[in-house]
């Protein structure tokens, strides 16, 4: 088991790793819209979704993976009304690659984020 750490994505805000690699798979922790310096991106869904996906990409890269190797993602939304807008932005990062996915509406997210995404990918 390998614990992944990169300074190109925000540091964990709790007792967890950015990702863990085991048996050829990387399991990322949920990414919210923190910059690598730990500052929360403005309260704007588009800006937050882009930051979340940039963070996810950096963690995947640090683990030896990338968007094209993602098997499954889970998206957590503070408001399911955001679903269509998040889908459009999400598709711009994944292109023709369409991993399995779940999207869940939640009451609140850490730091009052609007969106959080985690992933499982092949290394």
Domains in the chain: ranges and CATH: 2-122 (3.30.1330.40)
Answer positive or negative: Cα dihedral of 94, 56, 21, 112. Answer: negative
pLDDT, tens digit, for every residue of 46-104? 999 999 999 999 999 999 999 999 999 999 999 999 999 999 999 999 999 999 999 99
pLDDT at 50: 99
What pTM value is reported for the model? 0.96
Quote the pLDDT of residue 70. Answer: 99
Residue 59: exposure state from Cβ atoms within 10 A (0-12, 13-18, ≥19): buried
pLDDT tens-digit profile of 11-48? 999 999 999 999 999 999 999 999 999 999 999 999 99
Q: pLDDT for 39-53, tens place per residue?
A: 999 999 999 999 999
């Amino acid at each position: 088991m390998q614990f992944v750490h990169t300074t190109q994505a925000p540091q964990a805000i709790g007792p967890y790793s950015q990702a863990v690699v085991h048996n050829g798979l990387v399991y990322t922790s949920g990414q919210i819209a923190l910059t690598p310096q730990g500052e929360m991106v403005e309260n704007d869904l588009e800006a937050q979704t882009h930051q979340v996906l940039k963070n996810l990409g950096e963690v995947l890269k640090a683990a030896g993976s990338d968007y094209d190797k993602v098997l499954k993602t889970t998206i957590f939304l503070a408001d399911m009304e955001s679903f269509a807008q998040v889908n459009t932005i999400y598709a711009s990062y994944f292109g023709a690659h369409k991993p399995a996915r779940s999207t869940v509406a939640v009451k609140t997210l850490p730091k009052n984020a609007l969106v959080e995404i985690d992933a499982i990918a092949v290394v």
